[in-house]
Structure 1
């Protein structure tokens, strides 16, 4: 069975209203519906940049100890964390995994490496 959920570790972490930092999370693979549904949202029609906020709120299934994850949480992320999550989303959804193809600068051999969450 293919892997459909991927753990991540945010570079800075989400700071909740009580001052708790939430860094560890899980993102699932997106579906076609995940990418289509936000296009109907008035916030996206008014500002296409909001698409990523809704999309991430749909595919992130866990973030730290938060009971609920929604667009307000994603809006509250530090910009570095948002960029990290956009990149992570692209990698797992384009490749189906979190591995990267790399080339050795010495022998020019190609091989895959499993990416570790930032900070590990």
Structure 2
């Protein structure tokens, strides 16, 4: 069985960069112990514990559209809906629960589990 550590996603709104380009698709990796511990020493987190979310997400979001150097300032500029989406995704992929959701077959009504898809159907 292969361990999946990176997950693609699509933001509900998207990140609008300084050139006016909208970035919606990205990749988030699972967090390591260092990802959760090291930001606690960051002066921005020490003075404002709510900033921990910004630092954590900037460490685990590995790409966003054409951007590959995700910094805290990138996460700060996200729309609230996108920040909430990434926080929820972070919780889901780093929990000890299996990454599945329960679905119901529209044809027969049978319930089944399928892997969670963080991207929208195209």
TM-score calculated relative to the size of structure 1: 0.87
* Larger RCO: 1 or 2 (CA < 8 Å, sep 6+): 1
1:54 aligns with 2:55: yes
**Structure 1 residue 116: deviation in Å?**
2.3
Partner of 1:115: 116
**Structure 1 residue 66: deviation in Å?**
1.3
- DSSP-derived class of the 1:68 partner: coil
Partner of 1:76: 77
Q: Is the 8 A contact 1:11 1:118 kept in 2?
A: no
| Matched ranges for 1:1-120 at <5 A | 1-95=2-96, 98-100=99-101, 102=102, 111-120=112-121
User: How far apart in 2 are the matches of 1:78 and 1:71?
Assistant: 14
Residue 56 to residue 96, structure 1, CA distance change in 2 (3 Å)? farther
Q: Please provide the CA RMSD for this pair.
A: 2.2
Partner of 2:107: none
- DSSP-derived class of the 1:61 partner: strand
After the TM superposition, list the runs of 4 or more consecutive aligned residues in structure 1 that deviate by more than 6 angstroms: none
Of 89-98 and 49-58, deviating more is 89-98
Instruction: State the Cα deviation string for residues 62-81 of structure 1 (Å, max 9, x = none).
Output: 11011421000000000000
User: How far apart in 2 are the matches of 1:66 and 1:91?
Assistant: 23
TM-score calculated relative to the size of structure 2: 0.85
Instruction: State the Cα deviation string for residues 73-118 of structure 1 (Å, max 9, x = none).
Output: 0000000000000000111110476423x376xxxx7642222235
